[in-house]
Amino acid sequence: MAASDQLRFHEFDEAADLLAATPDATTTSVSERQSHVALDVGSSYDENEEGDESDKTELLSGQKQPPSFWTFEYYQAFFDVDTYQVLDRIKGSLLPLPGKNFVRHYLRNNPDLYGPFWICTTLVFTLAISGNLSNFLEKHGNTSFRYSPQFHKVTIAGVAIYCYAGLVPLALWGYLQWRKGVCLNVASYTLLETVCVYGYSLSVYIPASVLWLIPVSWLQWLLIATAMTLSGSVLVLTFWPLIRLDSRAATLAVLTIVLALHALLAVGCKLYFFQKPLHDYPPPFLKDGRAV
């Protein structure tokens, strides 16, 4: 009957004829069409995805803007790191390798404020505590010495470290922004990335300040030199690609100032918090039994 005949599967006679006539052409065209179809499916899938996303963003852009400066979510974006990322960044700042620019390799467009803030805080307390301990160890044998916690050193250390870690990156960023306007070859990182680099570069001073307890003079200066080298090289390797196309004088000036400030911080901390070792200042009562 007609109905059941219509329901039966029919061969497409025209296609079969065409296949018989020119097999290669049809097969390639079919395969091309198939591959085209596959590509189209793939690209249209991507387009669909992007289209969906763009649709979503269009939908959402009317409702959701980037969080304003005064909301909590704005600052949550600065703390979007996991434990292993923070540890990775600290490792990268302790062992700088010439090929790895800290900002490009470790930060990867995700700078955070957690690292700089807590590294600076730890450094403040480590400096104060180690300084106090070294003072105690140095004057221990002296009978006229009475131990005191010297708590005001925490305040001084705090002011010094936080000012350094906050103002110097700001100044450097401002300089680079200005220079970018003057000389087109100079690039710049964002302010947050600059602060981040400076904060992480201070992390090498934490073990150094603990090791400064050892009252051997040449070891202490060796430690300062090592810490300054490691920390300074992180900064230099990070900022070198930005300014190397600038004029020679400007490049040298910037790098010298960056390294000089860093050295000033290190030496200043060492001299203020850690007294000179014993054998430079013999205790007074040993000189011929008379007080000096």
Partner 1 sequence: MAAAEGSGAGGAAKPLFAGLSDVSISEDIPVEGEITVPVGSCSPDEDYSTLDEPVRDTIMRDLKAVGKKFVHVMYPKKSSALLRDWDLWGPLVLCVSLALMLQGGSADSKEDGGPQFAEVFVIIWFGAVVITLNSKLLGGTISFFQSLCVLGYCVLPLTVAMLVCRLVLLAGSGTVSFIVRLIVVMAMFAWSTLASTAFLADSQPPNRKALVIYPIFLFYFVISWMILTFTAQ
| Closer by beta carbon to partner 1, 127 or else 172 | 127
Min. distance of Cβ 147 from partner 1 in angstroms?
6
DSSP 286: G
Q: Name which of residues 47 to 66 contact partner 1 (CB under 8 A).
A: none
Contacting range for partner 1; rule: CB under 8 A; set: 114-122, 234-242, 257-265, 277-285 = 114-122
141 forms part of the interface with partner 1 (CB under 8 A): no
Q: How many whole angstroms separate alpha carbon 184 and alpha carbon 198? A: 25
3-state per-residue secondary structure call for 74-130: HHHHHHCCCHHHHHHHHHHHHCCCCCCCHHHHHHCCCCCCHHHHHHHHHHHHHHHHH
Min. distance of Cβ 197 from partner 1 in angstroms?
19
Q: Name which of residues 199 to 258 contact partner 1 (CB under 8 A).
A: none
SS3 137: helix
Q: How many whole angstroms separate alpha carbon 22 and alpha carbon 16? A: 10
No. of H helices and E strands in the chain?
A: 11, 0
Residue 126's contacts (CB-CB under 8 Å, 6 or more residues apart) are 206, 209, 210
| Closer by beta carbon to partner 1, 114 or else 240 | 114
Q: Are 78 and 113 in contact (CB under 8 A)?
A: yes
168 forms part of the interface with partner 1 (CB under 8 A): no
| Closer by beta carbon to partner 1, 96 or else 111 | 111
82 forms part of the interface with partner 1 (CB under 8 A): yes
Q: Name which of residues 11 to 40 contact partner 1 (CB under 8 A).
A: none
| Closer by beta carbon to partner 1, 147 or else 281 | 147
- By CB atoms closer than 10 A (0-12, 13-18, 19+), residue 139 is middle
Min. distance of Cβ 279 from partner 1 in angstroms?
25
SS3 208: helix
Site for partner 1 (CB under 8 A): which residue of 78, 162, 175, 272?
Answer: 78
Q: Are 161 and 202 in contact (CB under 8 A)?
A: yes
Min. distance of Cβ 163 from partner 1 in angstroms?
18
84 forms part of the interface with partner 1 (CB under 8 A): yes
Residues in contact with partner 1, counted by CB under 8 A, come to a total of 24
76 forms part of the interface with partner 1 (CB under 8 A): yes
Per CB under 8 A, residues contacting partner 1 are 72, 75-76, 78-79, 81-84, 86, 114, 118, 121-122, 125, 129, 132, 146-152
